[in-house]
Structure 1
Amino acid sequence: MDKYRLVVNPYDIERWVNDMANQGWHLKKFTWIRFTFERGEPGSYIYRHDELERFGTSYEDEYLEFLNSSGIEQVDRSGHFVFFRKSANDGPFELYSDKKNKISKLSQKISVLLSLILLNLVLAVIGLSGIFSAQAIDWIKLSMNITNILVVVLFSIPLLKLMHVRHKLKKDLDLYTD
């Protein structure tokens, strides 16, 4: 079964994949938008994600070998985003990623989303400012500008969620490092 979700907030995606596993749908493959699940025993796996900066580095193989020796299986990888799973019978597991690294990754995502939002906002404002000065409305240009505004609105929601997650991580970081 294929499901489609845009990978913006990795923590929401991880929660969703674990909810699917609890319903008996186990992740088999994924890309940045398409997730393929296969039917299995409900709740038999726990899934975690990692964003490997180690991609292509010499110690990446050692890291993956260490995880494998710990009973953690790599499910699939899309770019630097990787999903792992472990049998739920072994109990919960966490992948170690320090808060500074998580904050850095979230900041990169926030920058990309913010750039996309600002670009679409500028294009929409410029486009709309000239559309109504003409005697006849160009419906194609108007629809393109409305699409730009929709992109701004739709991507603002995940942007705010990512900023909230980053703020919580920064708060925890400050709390535990002082």
Structure 2
Amino acid sequence: MRKVKYRIFLDYDKEEKWVNDMAKEGWHLEKFSVGRFVFVKGEPGAFIYRNEYLGNLSEEEKVEYFALLQDSGATIVHESFNWIYVKKPVNEGPFELYTDASSKIDYYNRLLNSLLIVLIVNIAGATINFSIMGLSNKGVFNLGAGILHLLVAALICIPMVKIDKNKKKLKEQLFE
């Protein structure tokens, strides 16, 4: 039996928690894309799920990383837009992708750099649309597109602020 759920998350930790809550109820993630999750019915609480942003890893680096994960007993559930979900049986004990502060900080930096690019592109898009608004007969379209770009830029700031706070906490732990 399958179940499709539609959810948009700006917080990847909350998304991961939700997927794990679904697994506790016996719904195991099969695949995902932006806002769409497909689950299959299975044994409640059998797996722990983790999500991760791969960033700009080359195909060779991905293959090596996936092999490392599989060697640790984890299974790659699905990959979409450089995000992956990985699962591991609960009976094998705790499952974390990053076990030390410095590697987690590196991960946060990869996330922040990618989000920064998206933020800059959207601010530039808004600026361009607002500046050419009066120069064309499509001013209303440019206004709407500019506003949309600003909204996306504002939404991108939400996870960036949370990631930056988490990164600062980890840095404090390193220097204690």
Which interval holds the TM-score relative to the shorter structure? 0.7 to 0.9
Aligned residues with identical type, % of pairs = 30
Secondary structure of 2:62's match?
coil
CA RMSD of aligned residues (A): 3.2
* Contact residue 123 and residue 145 of structure 1 kept, 8 A: yes
Secondary structure of 1:56's match?
helix
Residue 22, structure 1, aligned to residue 28, structure 2 = no
Count residues with an aligned counterpart: 166
Alignment of 1:112-123 (within 5 A): 112-123=114-125
Instruction: Give the corresponding residue for 1:158.
Output: 159
* Contact residue 24 and residue 42 of structure 1 kept, 8 A: yes
Instruction: Give the corresponding residue for 1:11.
Output: 13
* Contact residue 11 and residue 159 of structure 2 kept, 8 A: yes
- The AA in structure 2 aligned to 1:56 is V
Query: Which of these two proteins has the greater Rg computed from alpha carbons?
Result: 1
Q: 2: CA distance between counterparts of 1:63 and 1:109?
A: 20
- The AA in structure 2 aligned to 1:22 is K
Which residues of structure 2 form unaligned runs of 5+?
none
Instruction: Give the corresponding residue for 2:111.
Output: 109
Q: Which moved more, 1:141-150 or 1:155-164?
A: 155-164
Structure 2 CA distance for partners of 1:19 and 1:119, relative to 1, 3 Å:
same
Q: 2: CA distance between counterparts of 1:48 and 1:135?
A: 48
TM-score, length-scaled by structure 1: 0.72
Q: 2: CA distance between counterparts of 1:135 and 1:28?
A: 47
TM-score, length-scaled by structure 2: 0.73
Which residues of structure 1 form unaligned runs of 5+?
none
